[in-house]
Structure 1
Amino acid sequence: MTVKDIIAEKLHAAFAPDRLDVTDESHLHAGHMGHRPEGETHFRVHIVSQAFEGKSRIDRHRMINATLAAELAGSVHALALKALTTAEANKTH
């Protein structure tokens, strides 16, 4: 199982998202701190979930970081997050 798959699986289990996009952007960071030739170090996550209702942006990021603590302590060097509620996501469309 890839790191991307592990991230997606954990976020699905924790937040039952309406939408989840996990993108491995490691190739964009070649030569930068934390990059490994085999990749799977830099990820971008866009998640839409009712679990974020009433939570601040910082609280949402903390919730996600707690869910992915093992990955962040290990192979993942960078994680860019966009975490919205369903209502917020619908406003942007």
Structure 2
Amino acid sequence: MSRPLAEEMHDLLTAAFAPTRLEIVNDSARHSGHAGDDGSGESHFTVVIEAPAFAEMNRLARQRAVIGALGDIVGQRVHAVAIQASAPTQ
């Protein structure tokens, strides 16, 4: 059996950004029966990440960086990921 997507996402984001704060919340139960709910229990997530790497990036660049670090997870294996990315000084 494969491991939970939240764990995989945690490992990918930790490797890419060495965050000072990282929370991955599985919001799938709140979207049960809605568009994108595939019944897996792993269709919707919220990522709260704080990392020094985001200091010189605007909001859009941060979101693109997080999505890039997650590889094929966003859009292929997960329907939606809400991203709250910031630098430690914010």
Tell me the TM-score normalised to structure 1 length.
0.91
User: Which runs of 5 or more residues in structure 1 are unaligned?
Assistant: 89-93
What residue in structure 1 maps to residue 42 of structure 2? 40
Give the number of equivalent residue pairs: 88
Q: How does 1:55-74 map to 2 (within 5 A)?
A: 55-74=57-76
Is it true that 1:54 corresponds to 2:77 in the alignment?
no
Identity of aligned residues (%): 34
SS of residue matched to 1:58: helix
What residue in structure 2 maps to residue 91 of structure 1? none
Tell me the TM-score normalised to structure 2 length.
0.93
> AA paired with 2:73?
E
SS of residue matched to 1:22: strand
SS of residue matched to 1:74: helix
Instruction: Give the distance between the partners of 1:32 and 1:75, measured in 2 at CA.
Output: 16
User: Which runs of 5 or more residues in structure 2 are unaligned?
Assistant: none
Aligned Cα root-mean-square deviation (Å): 0.8
SS of residue matched to 1:17: coil
